[in-house]
Amino acid sequence: PPSPLQPPGLPLAPCRSFSNNKIQVELDESSGVAMMKFKSPPVNSLSLEFLTEFSISLEKLENNRACRGVIITSAVPKIFSSGLDITEMCGKSMEHYTEFWRAVQEIWLRLYGSNMVTVAAVNGSSPAGGCLVALSCDYRIMAENPKFSIGLNEAQLGIVAPFWFKDTFVNVVGHRIAERSLQLGSLHPAPEAYKLGLVDELVPEEKLMEKAAAVMAQWLALPDHARQLTKTMMRKAVLDRLVAHREEDIKNFINFVSKESIQKSLRKYMEMLKKRK
């Protein structure tokens, strides 16, 4: 039994952990909760390698009967995840684009369709694909730091969020807010994100993990089976839509990313990012 001095959420022994290059996972078998930490500095960008590790980690947890929930957070200060790695979209082969985009789809299908309880502890900024990761969880808690922002800001870069990013977003914030936010490519500071319903809760940064563990415990108090069927009922229509149009969606991505105008705009964006450092 946990000691009364043990703050909730800190995993107790016995504990199984595995760590690859970019993601660290610790499973506390006594509580059934895994802690997944993105540790790919400088900005946890979703490279093909990152996505592959992410996918394998989720699969391992999903198949582990001792694991009932996962808290996703970042080990890199100030950033949750910067989203898709733009270098994967610049000057690469068709085969590479195909493999990359399939990996992006895979992560979303796994996470949005996960049988586990998924809680995002958003402890830094979370643009574009980083926001998608958070949106795909069951619950989003964000550090109440107005310097941290979150949103699907693809339009700012001259690109369009795929329809399943949009579907996921609409399911969270509704049509009106999604329409405006996607068109403007808005990055919402934490307080605004909370007001819009994009995140469910704000807490002081130092309380974030404690709160995530408490929320997880609340969700795990319910029997898994009914909760999982309910989740499937809520998310199936949107998941099925990508499954039905997966190859078409890959083709769209390749067509789009192959355009010289898009390549130019992405290169420009990368140079700007480099200068910022």
Contacts with its own copies by CB under 8 A lie at 138-139, 154-161, 163, 166, 170-176, 178-180, 182-185, 197, 200, 218-219, 222-223, 225-227, 229-231, 233-235, 265
Cβ atoms of 133 and 72 within 8 Å: the answer is yes
* Cβ-based nearer residue to its own copies, 67 or 238: 238
Q: Is 158 a catalytic residue?
A: no
Catalytic annotation, pick one of 83, 88, 153, 196: 153
With 0-12 CB in 10 A as exposed, 13-18 as middle and 19+ as buried, what is 20? Answer: middle
Q: In whole angstroms, what is the distance from residue 101 CA to residue 242 CA?
A: 12
Taking the complex as a whole, the smallest distance from the CB of residue 127 to its own copies amounts, in Å, to 15
Q: In whole angstroms, what is the distance from residue 41 CA to residue 39 CA?
A: 6
Catalytic annotation, pick one of 129, 130, 151, 185: 129
Taking the complex as a whole, the smallest distance from the CB of residue 136 to its own copies amounts, in Å, to 12
Taking the complex as a whole, the smallest distance from the CB of residue 224 to its own copies amounts, in Å, to 9
- Comparing C-alpha atoms, which of 22, 24, 73 is closest to residue 45? 22
Alpha helix ranges (H) inside 150-259? 163-173, 175-184, 190-196, 208-220, 224-244, 246-258
Q: Which amino acid is at 256?
A: F
Taking the complex as a whole, the smallest distance from the CB of residue 260 to its own copies amounts, in Å, to 13
* Cβ-based nearer residue to its own copies, 68 or 235: 235
Q: Is 154 a catalytic residue?
A: yes
Q: In whole angstroms, what is the distance from residue 181 CA to residue 185 CA?
A: 6
Q: Is 260 a catalytic residue?
A: no
Q: Is 153 a catalytic residue?
A: yes
* Cβ-based nearer residue to its own copies, 93 or 261: 261
Which residues participate in catalysis according to the annotation?
Answer: 84, 129, 153-154
